[in-house]
């Protein structure tokens, strides 16, 4: 290559980077405009968009979310966060993924229960239900997590473990209860100790932690799922906004966090940083654990294209929440996307979080 040609190539490369950044910025502005619009129309009361691609960060807050550090109820994004706390014990050799659950909970026996393993719980193939039949009654009674555990232990296993897929919040509950039995600590304390503090997630708590209810973004419960109140005025003391639910710290849905903190959590796995779990454990958690023909799942994580937004690669991992949240990381583009809203996921289709996520995925492709 002669000197003139080299300089031409160098200049072209130098001008391409700002151009790519400008295109990316424009597309992310389009994503932000979606949230701005739905907030202005009062469809959504509060939202935060946070995107990171290597050293590039794009962040916007809307409505009642005063800034990017606003703390939202994450919904099921809570699952991989709490399972990460459990997996710190895996790194210590306290359990194996194929250990039967009855090894730690002896009363979990009978029928197909003996075949249920920790891996089944974490990949939603245990056969346990999403919620126990007594869910609403337990919440109305302000039951502690221990009572949910007791009912989950007695819940029916609906198919041979590992043979089918069924989303199971109660499977996650029992897995985190194993962590409580091993450490003699509540999952609320363990997640704070093993995940939030090491990662510097200073605007995060399992339950309310050191924060108060007014510190949290309120949910628009009028459009929420039936099991979370669904606007029923008689449910005000146990719905998503109630002090009871916010303090409970349900490991399947009771984590509060800011968007930048959720991004810190995803970065631990995107870069296999080794801060809370070993790099090989981080990689294991975002790999599909389920057999051919079953819904792809990692350990606590959604994995594959369905784990992200339209345009994400098959290597994507993350989770959504029924509270109106989505968070994913795509190793192919090294992009992290977090969209937190106050509008429940079932309120409208397509949900603004999904429209925004799609724009972010498109922007990340350059």
Instruction: Measure the CA–CA gap between 212 and 231, rounded to whole angstroms.
Output: 23
Which H or E run includes 131?
none
Q: Is residue 311 in a domain?
A: yes
- Going by DSSP bridges, is the β-strand pair 72-73/204-206 parallel, antiparallel, or unpaired? unpaired
For residues 148 and 132, the answer to whether their CB atoms sit within 8 Å is yes
* Whether the predicted pLDDT of 7 surpasses 80: no
Task: Please give the pLDDT value at position 92.
Answer: 98
pLDDT (tens digit, 9 = 90+) per residue, 37-57? 999 999 999 999 999 998 899
Q: Domain span at residue 343?
A: 26-364
Which H or E run includes 66?
none
Residue 364's pLDDT band (boundaries 50, 70, 90)?
confident
DSSP-derived 3-state class of residue 325: strand
pLDDT (tens digit, 9 = 90+) per residue, 118-174? 999 999 999 999 999 999 999 999 999 999 999 999 999 999 999 999 999 999 999
For residues 204 and 256, the answer to whether their CB atoms sit within 8 Å is yes
Picking from 288, 300, 282, the residue whose alpha carbon sits closest to that of residue 175 is 300
Instruction: Measure the CA–CA gap between 44 and 342, rounded to whole angstroms.
Output: 6
Picking from 118, 116, 164, 127, the residue whose alpha carbon sits closest to that of residue 294 is 164
Q: Is residue 7 in a domain?
A: no
Q: Is residue 13 in a domain?
A: no
Instruction: Measure the CA–CA gap between 228 and 244, rounded to whole angstroms.
Output: 12
Q: 139: which 2 tokens?
A: 């919440």
Task: Please give the pLDDT value at position 229.
Answer: 62
DSSP H helices in 250-309 = 259-270, 279-285
For residues 50 and 260, the answer to whether their CB atoms sit within 8 Å is yes
Q: Is residue 14 in a domain?
A: no
Question: What's the chain's average pLDDT?
Answer: 92
Q: Is residue 83 in a domain?
A: yes
Task: Please give the pLDDT value at position 222.
Answer: 79
Instruction: Measure the CA–CA gap between 269 and 142, rounded to whole angstroms.
Output: 35
* Whether the predicted pLDDT of 18 surpasses 70: no
What CATH number is associated with residue 176? 3.40.710.10
Q: Is residue 17 in a domain?
A: no
Q: Is residue 60 in a domain?
A: yes
259-270 and 78-91 helices cross at what angle (nearest 10)?
A: 40
Task: Please give the pLDDT value at position 204.
Answer: 98
For residues 339 and 331, the answer to whether their CB atoms sit within 8 Å is no
Average pLDDT over residues 67-79: 98
The pLDDT > 90 percentage for the chain reads: 86
For residues 312 and 297, the answer to whether their CB atoms sit within 8 Å is no
* Whether the predicted pLDDT of 175 surpasses 50: yes
Residue 235's pLDDT band (boundaries 50, 70, 90)?
confident
Looking at the 3D structure of the chain, how many domains does it have?
1
Going edge to edge, which strands form the sheet with 46-53?
Answer: 56-63, 46-53, 335-341, 325-330, 317-321, 302-303
Residue 57: phi and psi, rounded to 5, are -130, 135
DSSP 192: I
Q: Is residue 20 in a domain?
A: no
DSSP H helices in the chain = 3-40, 78-91, 118-122, 135-140, 145-154, 169-183, 187-191, 197-199, 243-248, 259-270, 279-285, 352-364
Average pLDDT over residues 177-185: 98
């Amino acid at each position: 290559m002669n000197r003139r040609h080299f300089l031409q190539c160098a200049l072209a490369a130098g001008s391409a980077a700002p151009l790519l950044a400008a295109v990316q910025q424009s597309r992310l502005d389009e994503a932000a405009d979606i949230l701005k619009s739905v907030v202005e129309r009062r469809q959504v009361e509060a939202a935060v968009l946070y995107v990171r691609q290597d050293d590039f960060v794009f962040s916007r807050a809307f409505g009642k979310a005063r800034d990017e550090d606003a703390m939202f109820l994450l919904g099921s994004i809570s699952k991989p966060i709490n399972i990460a706390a459990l997996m710190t014990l895996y790194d210590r050799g306290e359990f194996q993924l194929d250990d039967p659950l009855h090894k730690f909970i002896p009363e979990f026996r009978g029928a197909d229960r003996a075949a249920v393993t920790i891996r089944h719980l974490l990949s939603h193939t245990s056969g346990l239900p999403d919620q126990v039949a007594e869910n609403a009654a337990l919440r109305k009674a302000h039951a502690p997590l221990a009572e949910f555990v007791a009912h989950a232990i007695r819940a029916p296993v609906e198919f041979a473990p590992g043979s089918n897929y069924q989303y199971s919040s109660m499977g996650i509950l029992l897995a985190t209860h194993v962590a409580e039995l091993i450490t003699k600590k509540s999952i609320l304390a363990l997640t704070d100790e093993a995940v939030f503090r090491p990662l510097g997630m200073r605007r995060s708590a399992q339950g309310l932690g050191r924060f108060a209810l007014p510190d949290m973004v309120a949910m628009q419960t009028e459009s929420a799922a039936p099991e979370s109140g669904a606007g029923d005025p008689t449910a005000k003391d146990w719905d998503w906004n109630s002090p009871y639910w916010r303090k409970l710290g349900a490991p399947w849905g009771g984590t509060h966090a800011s968007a930048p903190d959720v991004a810190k959590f995803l970065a631990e796995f995107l870069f296999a940083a080794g801060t809370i779990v070993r790099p090989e454990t981080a990689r294991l958690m975002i790999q599909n654990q389920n057999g051919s023909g079953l819904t792809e799942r990692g350990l606590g994580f959604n994995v594959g294209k369905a784990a992200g937004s339209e345009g994400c690669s098959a290597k994507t991992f993350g989770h959504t929440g029924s509270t109106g949240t989505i968070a994913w990381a795509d190793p192919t583009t090294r992009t992290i996307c977090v969209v937190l809203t106050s509008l429940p996921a079932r309120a409208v289709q397509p949900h603004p979080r999904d429209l925004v996520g799609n724009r972010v995925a498109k922007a990340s492709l350059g």
